[in-house]
Amino acid sequence: MRTLVTNGHIITAVDDYYADIRIIDGIITDIGRGLNDPEAEVIDAAGRLVLPGGVDPHTHLENPSGSTMTSDTFLTGSRAAAVGGTTTLIDFAKQNKGETLHAAYDTWQDKARHRTCIDYGFHIIVVEADEARLEEVPDLIAAGVTSVKMYMAYRGRMMVDDGTLFRTMLAFKAHGGLVALHAENGDVIDVLVRQAVAAGKISPKYHAMTRPPILEAEAVHRAICIAEVAESPVYFVHLSSRQALEELQRGRDRGLPVFAETCPHYLVLDESRYEAPGFEGAKYVLTPPLRSVEHQEALWRGVRAGDIAVISTDHCPFCFAGQKTLGQDDFSKIPNGGPGIEHRLALIYNAGVHGGRISPHQFVDLIATQPAKIFGLFPRKGTLAVGSDGDLVIFDPDRPCTISASTHVMNVDYSMYEGMDVRGSVDEVLLRGKPIVRARSYVGQPGDGQYIPRQRFRM
């Protein structure tokens, strides 16, 4: 299979030039001016940007949560990702209590195999880690699962204590793995939530009020201290507050290998959404919660300064009707999470680049290059270079678009950005040289995506 993308304005994390790109059998073989290939399918990118395909390292597809399950499958969620310009996702294989890590890995491979529309990998979520479980770590890392996620929140369900966190860190670190953490003080939040519900404070806004920023900052601080003792790198998922960012910056200033991502909803939305009438605020019940504008501005400064390296989606969709409404009478029963896999590039290009906050190169770095580097996919993914996979996004930086549940591809009945006008649109997407989005419509096949074993952490 041969594809030739001509006349593109190529933007990577470091480059800015005009050229043609030839892809043969999935791999970029040539980048140059005036390339010719009579056998190739030619796509004219004139007037538009050519970017590396997006890498989204934080999604929850077909993920059981309490009595329900996220509404996007590997098929529907990865198709929406493709339409939004993401060509690689990393999902979470979640260990159930009493289960081996390999069983979790096998379960998620079975969900994704033959159905996923873009390339994919897995982190493992560890909820219990006795000696036998940690003996599985070398094999998992050899299989390309080179990162582990643990929760410092969700007491009684997924939360690990500090000892488990430390032992798991040591085990992954010893074999070249990276530890990713959901940082919030789960014990204290658990008390705050119980108190609120007992006092009859049951509406969605109390989700936010029972998870104050200081409890995120405390967990980031504690985790950095534990990681320093373990001599382990650590990556904070979905950083949401100024105080947590300050703890991260203190760790980085000490020279520690600590990294963080944030998500579009923390950069574009704020806590005023919880004041929506009726039960509407439940659409924004995700964790950590949306914060005030003050935090939003701090996060943008962290993004611009490079302390926040990655923008992921934390795509964790639940329909409003029938799923979010499980918590109609008690906010603590609302499934936590929101949909976002489809609009990451457009939202961040619009708010970041058009908003004058980041350069186009920083944009590519945040949505593709850094996640590929941190999670062991670079240079196969995350850039445009000879020898890299032919994952390309042809992006029209000026085309306007209105985000709406009535037009989105995700399998969920609402959008957190309903009615929002953004400028910048994903026109065409190639996955290893195969067009999977043409003229903004999905044209690929379920199963186009391949499992990508990831390399060990190095930085």
Residues within the interface to Zn ion (CB under 5 A): 314
Closest contact distance (angstroms) between CB of 73 and Zn ion is: 17
Cβ proximity to Zn ion, 314 vs 365, nearer residue: 314
Half-sphere CA count of 436, side-chain side, radius 13 A: 33
* Of the candidates 442, 416, 438, the residue with the CA atom closest to the CA atom of residue 427: 438
Cβ proximity to Zn ion, 72 vs 314, nearer residue: 314
Cβ proximity to Zn ion, 111 vs 250, nearer residue: 111
Cβ proximity to Zn ion, 314 vs 391, nearer residue: 314
Cβ proximity to Zn ion, 20 vs 261, nearer residue: 261
Closest contact distance (angstroms) between CB of 205 and Zn ion is: 21
Q: What are the residues whose beta carbons fall under 8 Å from the beta carbon of 360, sequence distance 6 or more?
A: 11, 16, 49, 353, 397
Cβ proximity to Zn ion, 289 vs 433, nearer residue: 289
Closest contact distance (angstroms) between CB of 61 and Zn ion is: 11
Contacts 24+ apart (CB under 8 A), 214-218: 214/243, 215/184, 215/185, 215/188, 215/189, 216/183, 216/184, 216/185, 216/240, 216/241, 216/243, 216/244, 216/288, 217/241, 217/243, 217/244, 217/246, 217/247, 218/185
- Distances in Å between the Cα of 437 and the Cα atoms of 6, 159, 363 are 17, 39, 21
Closest contact distance (angstroms) between CB of 366 and Zn ion is: 18
Task: Give the torsion through C-alpha atoms of 141, 55, 393, 4, to 10 deg.
Answer: -10
- Distances in Å between the Cα of 278 and the Cα atoms of 107, 204, 263, 282 are 38, 9, 26, 9
Closest contact distance (angstroms) between CB of 337 and Zn ion is: 7
Closest contact distance (angstroms) between CB of 60 and Zn ion is: 6
